Every structure is written in structure tokens, then in C-alpha cells.
Chains A and B, each alone.
Chain A
Amino acid sequence: MSTALAQKRGLGAAIWDYLTTVDHKKIAQLYLVSGGIFFLIGGLEAMLIRIQLMQPNSDFISAGLYNEMITMHGTTMIFLAAMPLIFALMNAVVPLQIGARDVAFPFLNSLGFWLFLAGGLILNCSWFLGGAPDAGWTAYAPLSATSPGHGVDYYVIGLQISGAGTLIGGINFLVTIVNMRAPGMSYMRMPLFTWASFVTSNLILFAFPALTVGLFLLMFDRMFGSAFFDVGLGGNAIIWEHLFWIFGHPEVYILILPVFGAFSDIFSTFSTKRLFGYSAMVFATVLIGFLGFMVWAHHMFTTGLGPVANSIFAVSTMAIAVPTGIKIFNWLFTMWGGKIRMTSAMLWSIAFIPTFTIGGMTGVMLAAAAADYQYHDTYFVVAHFHYVIVGGVVFGFFAALHYWWPKMFGKVLNEKLGKLAFWPFFIGFHLTFFIQHFLGLMGMPRRYWTYQEGQGLDLGNLISTVGAFLMAIGTLIFVYNVIYTAMKEKKVSGDPWDGRTLEWSIPSPPPFYNFKQTPLVRGLDPLWIEKQDGKTGMTPAEPLGDIHMPNGSFLPFLMSLGLFIAGFGFIYQVDHKGWLALVFIGMGITLGSMLTRSLKDDLGYHVHKEELEEGGGNHES
């Protein structure tokens, strides 16, 4: 099997390899590419929004299209860009950091990716098939339940399918981290990125079902004539808001926690110091995850929950500032007295600290329920969540990609271009969003198509749009950097940053079985400990032996394809029952693939000891 793969391959074979792969490193690349493309699409939508708002009474895009833009910008960025990029990092790094040869469920890992992609494509097909969803990324009922056309149907079906993929991916990482750590890798020796991925996977497991339920209710309301959100028939529109935010608030921690973990690893590596307050960092991560489930109603202060509920949720929200503060100070103390190397990854990380702190402060302001009546649905809120999501998550992605790029692709991203991308993005980001705090305080409501002249909003919006263009320039320089690095840069060793954790103890990119021999972990920052003892690599925990690997499979792609087809059937069967044929065909493909998977034993194959000894089996290019 492995020798057959080692042959020179054409383009078709390479595509087939990616369609059937169950290797977590290749799935990471798939997540990275598709998430990156969706990020660019979401960015394009953001640019159109900003151009529309550049001048008062602008008519650049129509009001209806504007609604579709804001909806798809939010939905794309959260579900189709940030989530897959999180999974790209987790797939690329977590198994390596815990010394595992693969994830616990390689097949499910691949299924998770293809489901996400199927959902994302369905959502974006709506642009060409009669209009995108236009009820906001939160799709509040009753607007979403009554919005005409098929836009919101695409939202429901697309998110349902990609949400299933995310749930599967989360469970996979949960089991991987619990069961597949190398000997000696106890919980309190796991790198912070792995810890954060573990907590994130827990949040996915517990939060996504709420979204699934909410989407099903909305689907039945829109497609099958039920009335869960129809007040006229005894329904209750507020239930959607609750279900959405019971999912939605943990979701923002699902996004931010892994990059917190990545920052921790980056600060520690580039300060050449052990992470300050490791156990406090772990505690803070778990606490943020835990508290993340008790704060969702702070998105709904003005819906009339009553003063008691508002106070409870205000206090629990403010409590989250405590563990987050612990993290901020620990990062600062990690750098204190360290031998700091100002790489691009470090630059993004350092820029993240003040940026995220500003976002956190406005967060506490918004958490004050009484004051929130003033801020509610204004640009103040828009500024706040862009400070935490762009200033936190997007800065984090850039930092983490610079940091782990050599591990994923064997080449260091060009440092000069990396810094050149940072400055326009960083300056542009603050230009775009800092002024929006004040626009919001002056009363500019979010999601409005345009605004009147002479209300003091003109200059602020112009500055904001100029900033957005700078961010776009920064992003394009980063994309150029990726291409430039792939063409021009030289291969580097497995450990270009003088790393501390297990992933830097193996070649870059790693062989498909990751570790020839499972390493023995002797403490936190295991590779650093060995370096301190004058060794060059990890001590193996086992003799060289045969390695069991899973076979690739085309079934995950087929299952997702089936759901993709069935999705269109569900959307259009409202118009004509003939469309139900698509549902039957699609579900037939999916269920048939599941049956095949259940009935056919697939026991994988072994990479033999002899192949490993002659350096064979390592056919990654």
C-alpha cells in the first residue's frame, strides 16, 4: 500500500489522494485552503459593505443586497472561515504535540471536513440561485421564519450540514487527546495549544447540539408548516434567540481558545522561556470554557428577560474577565526577562495583547445590562466583537500560521513579507474599528443600509472604509507571501524556531506516520528538556516496530456529496414535490455509503519495520 503510493503521481492521482485521504496533516491542508478561500470571500463581502457605507446616502449596492452581504459576511467568517481554520491548526498540530501517529478516528476526521465543505458550498450556491440569506447571521425569528425566497433555507441546510461536520471533528479531537497521548504525556504536561483544543472540543460537543435543534425547528417552520416561532399559532420567537445564543456564545470561545493556546506556545518559544504560570493558564482555559455556557443571555438584555435574569447574566459575564485577565498577565510575564525574538509570529502575538484587551474592556462595558440598553445594536457592538474576533482570532491565525507553517509545509514564510503584511493590517484594523466605537455611541445602528448626511457620521465612516482597504492590502500581501514562499524559499530543518514541544522533534513536513518511535515525555516542554540534557531528539518509549495505519477512503466524500444533493432537494421541495427525488437520491447515496462502511471491514495496513529502517514509507513531498 505505502510503496504503491510512493510512485510518481500525476495530477489526477494527487487529487484522488486528497479526496480519499484520512491523514490528519493532509486534512489540515484541506481545511486551510478551503477556510482560506472562504476567508477571502468573507473579506470581499466586508469590503462591499464598507464601500456602501463610505458615503452617506450611498447607492453602491441595493438595500436587499446589503442585507444579504451582512448576513453572508458574518455567517461565512464565523462558520466557513474561522471554524475550518481552527480545525486546520488542530489537525496540523495536536497529534504531533501529544506524540500520536494519527487522530483517534481518521475516517470521521475526513468526514468532518467534507461535511463542512458541502455545507459551505450549499450556503454560497445561494448567491447564484435566487438570493443569499438575508436575516442576519443570527437569523432571528420571526424574520428568518418569514423571510421570502429560499435564502434562509440555504442558511438552515448549509449550517446544519457543516455543523454536523464540526461536531464530528470535535468528538474526534476529544477522543484523540484523552486516549492517544504518548507515554509520560500527562494532562498537566500537555502544551497549551493542546489543552485549548481539548477544552474547545468539549465546547463543540456541548454547544453545537443547541444549534442543531434550533436549525431543525427553523427548518420545520419554513419547510414543513410547523409553528415553533409563530406567535400567532402559539409559538414563541424568543426560543430561537435562546437556542442560538446557547450555541452562539460558547461558539466565540470555541474560536478564541485555540488561538489563546497558540499564543501561549508562541510567546513561550520566542521568549525562550517556559510559559509563566502554566497551571494557572490551564485553569483559566477550563474556567473560560465553563463560564462560556452561563452567559449567553447577555446577547439578549433588551428582549425583556427582567431585571433578575439580566443581573445574573451581567455578573457571570463580567466574571469571564478574571480568567482572561490571568491569561493576559501570564503572557506578559512569559515575555518578561525572556530572550525575545521578534519574528512575524511574535509580532502578531504582541499586537494581539493590547488589541484584545481593548475588546475585553468594551466587553465588560457591554456586560453592564443597564448601559447595554444604550449600546444595543449600535456600531459599538460591531466594534467590540471585531476587536475580539479580528484582534484575537484573526491575529491568532496569522501568528499561528507563521509559527507552524514550517511544520506543515517545510518552509518558513518569508519574514520580510510577513512583517510587511502585518503593518497595513494592524494599522488598518484599528482605523476601521476604533472609530466605530464612537459611531456607535453617536447612535449609528448596525445592519442599516445607509445613513443621512450631516449627522456627524460621514467622516467616521470614511476613515473606517480607508482602514478596511488597508486590511485588504495586508491580507493580499500575506497571500502573496504564501505563494512566494512556496516558489522561492528553501526547505528548513524540522526545528527552525528552536522549539520546545514534541512537534519540533520530527522532520518537517512530518512523515505520514509522524513518529517512527513513540517518544517518551519527561515533563512540560518535552523537547526542551531533552535539549537541556544535551540530546538532539526525544528518547523513544518503544523499540522500532511495525506501524499500523488506516486506509484511505472515498466514502466520506460520497456521504457528504449525498447530503449536498439532498440539501437542494429539501430546499426546493417546498415549490414542487418533484424535488423530493433529489432528497431520495442524495440520502440514498449517503445511507448507502454508511451501509458500505458498516458492512465492509477495513482494518488498515502496516508499515513494516524494514521500510522504516531504510527511511522508506516517507513519501511526502
Chain B
Amino acid sequence: MANNTNSANKPVDFKKKHSKEEMKQQVITFALMIMFTLVAFGLVLAEVTSFFVIPILIILAIVQVLFQLYYFMHMKNKGHSMVSVMMFGGISIGILTIITFTTIIWW
């Protein structure tokens, strides 16, 4: 914010460039996400064996969630380290619980 008050050209240029870069990344991720969705539908429509399709779908879903978090919800930007620590902490504890339940309770 502080650098916006500076009327010199440089910070404005930098900001423009930065936004342009940001826009490019968002468009690319958006395109990739649409492509992933098409691939997912395509695999199911093509009736590939479910043994192969289910893991692929899960991986695609995880990648899409990460894209969403990092590019659209700005977790890749500075000042989000606490957010990611909390999120990944919670996720790892949740996963640990699920692993335990599936391995030693339900088998």
C-alpha cells in the first residue's frame, strides 16, 4: 500500500507487471483445471477400468484443490505461512485418524 502513494513511475510499473503476471497465472490454472475436469469426465465416459480411474480422479481432485488454494485464494503470496501451517496441520491429523480407522478398526 505504501508504495502506491509514491507517484514515481517505477512502483506503478511494478504493480502493473505484477498484476499482469498474476492474471497470466490465473488464466493458465483455470485452463488447466477445466482440462482436468474434461479428462476426468472423459475417463469415466470411456469406461476405463475403475481400478485405474479412481486413483486418477482422486489425484486430479487434490491438484485442483491445491490450484484453488494457491492461485485463486492467494496462498502462494506472502503472509500466508500461518494459514498453511494450520491447514496442513489439521489435514495431517485428520489423515492420521482416517488411516488408523481404516487399518486397525475396520480393516
Contacts and interface: CB of A to CB of B under 8 A. Distances in A.
A178 interface: yes
A327 B15 CA distance: 48
B48 interface: no
Interface stretch (B17-25, B37-45, B54-62, B95-103): B95-103
B96 A294 contact: yes
Interface string B87-107: 001100100110011011110
Contact of B105 (A206, A239, A293, A294): A239
Given A236-B105, A239-B105, A242-B105, A206 B100 contact: no
B82 A206 contact: no
- By DSSP majority rule, is chain B's interface helix, strand, loop, or mixed? helix
A238 B89 contact: no
Given A202-B89, A206-B89, A206-B90, A246 B105 contact: no
A306 interface: yes
A239 B101 CA distance: 8
A206 B93 CA distance: 8
Contacts of B103: 309
A210 B97 CA distance: 10
A583 to B, nearest CB: 31
B99 to A, nearest CB: 11
Nearest to B106: A236
A305 interface: yes
A293 B93 contact: yes
Contacts of B82: 178
B105 A238 contact: yes
Question: Which among B86, B89, B100, B104 has the highest number of chain A CB atoms within 10 Å?
Answer: B104
A297 B100 contact: yes
Nearest to A236: B105
Contacts of A246: 97
Interface residues of B, number: 13
Interface in A285-310: 293-294, 297, 305-306, 309
A532 B6 CA distance: 40
Contacts of A178: 82
Nearest to B103: A309
A447 to B, nearest CB: 25
A210 B104 CA distance: 18
Nearest to A202: B89
Interface string A183-223: 00000000000000000001001100010000000000000
B94 to A, nearest CB: 9
Contacts of A239: 101, 105
B107 to A, nearest CB: 10
A236 B90 CA distance: 25
A380 B35 CA distance: 61
Contacts of B93: 206, 293
A25 B17 CA distance: 49
Nearest to A210: B97
A202 B88 CA distance: 12
Contacts of A242: 100-101, 105
A305 B104 contact: yes
Contacts of B100: 242, 297
Contacts of A293: 93, 96
Contacts of A309: 103-104
Contacts of B97: 210, 246
A297 B103 CA distance: 13
Contacts of B96: 293-294
Contacts of B90: 205-206
Contacts of A238: 105
Given A239-B101, A309-B103, 12 more contacts: A178-B82, A205-B86, A206-B89, A206-B90, A210-B97, A236-B106, A238-B105, A239-B105, A246-B97, A293-B93, A294-B96, A297-B100
Interface of B: 82, 86, 89-90, 93, 96-97, 100-101, 103-106
Interface of A: 178, 202, 205-206, 210, 236, 238-239, 242, 246, 293-294, 297, 305-306, 309
10 contacts: A178-B82, A202-B89, A205-B86, A206-B93, A239-B101, A242-B105, A246-B97, A293-B96, A294-B96, A306-B104
